[in-house]
């Protein structure tokens, strides 16, 4: 009896310790197991710090699948991921569940970048195979970040932070990306954070500006409207390209605040234009996933006093397909209020014709990648001709983007393209300069005739 009394607490202690180090869903070790494994490896190699690698894989698009099919299906996918990772990692490696839809691995025999990327590619391919949920299969991709000891950190916490930085960069670059931490990447991410903080302050202080580029009638060169374009000059950072700060705002979750500020400013500027000129404004993919987008846009127009019929919203095919059902509802609500919808960057997506069938648009904008080559590339010329003819048959208006020469403009007119924009007709200008050009054109001709360059 005494021996039993002595052994029971010991067994319970072992069981408790095992539970503390194990993920209950997948049976893998958890982040505590990973921490101890890394510290043990570092201690073994303290005298002669031979490198080893740790990594984190994050499942892309797991949350929508979890929401759509339920948590039981999500748990089943996570268990299948765990099984695949245990089967595919190199000998001696440790696989753990890091939390949520993230899995981590310690790779004692991976010493440098090339080998880490090779392992990452293998893991990515293994995780991209279909997942069997009984009555259906689903596909996922994975973003992966690696960090190599001791270059990316000698302590576990520092090494883990470097791995998370690498993973974050992979997520920024899109789905299915692999990144190995380096000092250059750390600097890149640090600058992104600096830009983020400065941009948040600029939005609060109303310091992000709007410029306007004319959209013209190609037949008589009169201006029909203006596209609003974001511009930002920071006191410390200088000019920051919208190609940098707009995706950053979307990625870090404050694109709504930026977009609403820009729309308000653009709408206020448009009030000073003749009422026959329209305002074109770009919506992000994040906004087309938010059911409150239509209400927010119409509320801004109401507060400013701009007629919704004068607003045209540009959306890309990629943005539409991010959450097609929600996007469909938003577009319908906006069109019902009189807002017009343009499909931007047409021709660059994977199934643009399907989008024209599934969604109701008022206008199509031909991507500049085709327009810029219509005088030198026969294929681009025929593609533009086909788009113009198709839109004519569907009663859709067409705008050619990126027109930079009179030759291009003449060729587009001959093809039957009615509208265009680009540096040939005017570079983006601030609200005051745009208003001056509009007034001067009306005074001189009675119409808004370009060029406004």
268-273, Cβ contacts within 8 angstroms, sequence gap of 24 or more: 268/304, 269/210, 269/212, 269/431, 269/434, 269/435, 270/226, 270/306, 270/310, 271/304, 271/305, 271/306, 272/435, 273/226, 273/435, 273/438
Instruction: Answer whether 397's CB lies under 8 Å from 365's CB.
Output: no
285: exposed, middle or buried (Cβ count in 10 Å: 0-12, 13-18, 19+): middle
The H-assigned helical ranges of 282-430 are 293-304, 317-322, 324-336, 352-358, 368-371, 378-393, 406-415
Confidence at residue 10, expressed as pLDDT on a 0 to 100 scale: 55
Confidence at residue 227, expressed as pLDDT on a 0 to 100 scale: 97
According to DSSP, residue 376 is labeled: T
Instruction: Answer whether 52's CB lies under 8 Å from 110's CB.
Output: yes
What domains are defined for the chain? 16-181 (3.30.70.270), 195-445 (3.20.20.450)
List the pLDDT tens digit at each of the 453 positions of the chain.
Answer: 444 455 545 556 666 667 788 999 999 999 999 999 999 999 988 777 789 999 999 998 888 788 778 899 999 999 999 999 999 999 899 999 998 999 999 999 999 999 999 999 999 999 999 999 888 888 899 999 999 999 999 999 999 999 999 999 998 887 899 999 999 998 988 898 899 999 999 999 999 999 999 999 999 999 999 999 999 999 999 999 999 999 889 888 899 999 999 999 999 999 999 999 999 999 988 898 889 999 999 999 999 999 999 999 999 877 776 677 888 899 999 999 999 999 987 866 544 566 676 678 899 999 888 898 898 889 989 999 999 999 988 889 999 999 999 999 999 999 999 999 999 999 999 999 999 888 876 665 555 555 443
According to DSSP, residue 74 is labeled: H
Instruction: Answer whether 411's CB lies under 8 Å from 372's CB.
Output: no
């Amino acid at each position: 009896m005494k021996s039993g009394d002595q052994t029971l607490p010991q067994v319970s202690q072992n069981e408790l310790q095992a539970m503390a180090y194990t993920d209950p869903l997948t049976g893998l070790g958890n982040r505590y197991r990973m921490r101890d494994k890394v510290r043990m490896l570092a201690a073994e190699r303290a005298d002669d710090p031979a490198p080893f690698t740790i990594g984190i894989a994050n499942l892309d698009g797991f949350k929508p699948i979890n929401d759509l099919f339920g948590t039981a299906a999500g748990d089943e996918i996570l268990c299948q991921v765990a099984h695949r990772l245990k089967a595919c990692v190199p000998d001696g490696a440790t696989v753990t569940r890091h939390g949520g839809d993230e899995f981590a691995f310690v790779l004692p025999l991976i010493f440098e970048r090339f080998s880490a990327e090779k392992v990452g590619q293998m893991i990515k391919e293994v995780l991209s195979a279909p997942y069997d949920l009984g009555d259906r299969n689903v596909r996922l991709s994975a973003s992966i970040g690696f960090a190599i000891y001791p270059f990316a950190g000698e302590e576990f916490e520092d090494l883990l932070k470097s791995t998370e930085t690498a993973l974050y960069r992979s997520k920024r670059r899109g789905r299915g990306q692999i990144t190995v931490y380096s000092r250059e990447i750390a600097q890149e991410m640090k600058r992104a954070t600096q830009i983020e903080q400065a941009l948040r302050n600029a939005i609060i202080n109303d310091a992000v500006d709007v410029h306007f580029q004319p959209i013209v009638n190609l037949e008589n060169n009169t201006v029909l409207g203006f596209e609003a374009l974001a511009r930002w000059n920071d006191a410390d950072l200088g000019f920051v390209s919208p190609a940098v700060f707009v995706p950053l705002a979307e990625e870090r979750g404050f694109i709504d605040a930026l977009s609403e500020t820009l729309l308000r400013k653009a709408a206020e500027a448009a009030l000073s234009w003749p009422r026959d000129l329209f305002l074109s404004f770009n919506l992000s993919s994040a906004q087309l996933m938010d059911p409150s987008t239509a209400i927010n846009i119409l509320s801004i127009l109401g507060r400013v006093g701009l007629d919704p019929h004068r607003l045209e919203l540009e959306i890309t095919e990629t943005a539409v397909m991010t959450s097609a059902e929600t996007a469909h509802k938003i577009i319908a609500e906006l069109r019902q209020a009189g807002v017009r919808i343009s499909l931007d960057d047409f021709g660059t997506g994977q199934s643009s014709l399907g989008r024209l069938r599934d969604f109701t648009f008022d206008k199509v904008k031909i991507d500049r990648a085709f327009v810029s080559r219509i005088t030198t590339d026969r294929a681009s010329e025929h593609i533009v001709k086909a788009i113009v003819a198709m839109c004519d048959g569907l009663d859709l208006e067409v705008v050619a983007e990126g027109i930079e020469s009179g030759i291009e403009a003449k060729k587009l007119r001959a093809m039957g393209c009615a509208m265009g924009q680009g540096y040939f007709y005017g570079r983006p200008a601030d609200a005051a300069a745009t208003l001056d050009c509009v007034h001067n054109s009306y005074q001189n001709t009675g119409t808004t005739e370009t060029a406004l360059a």
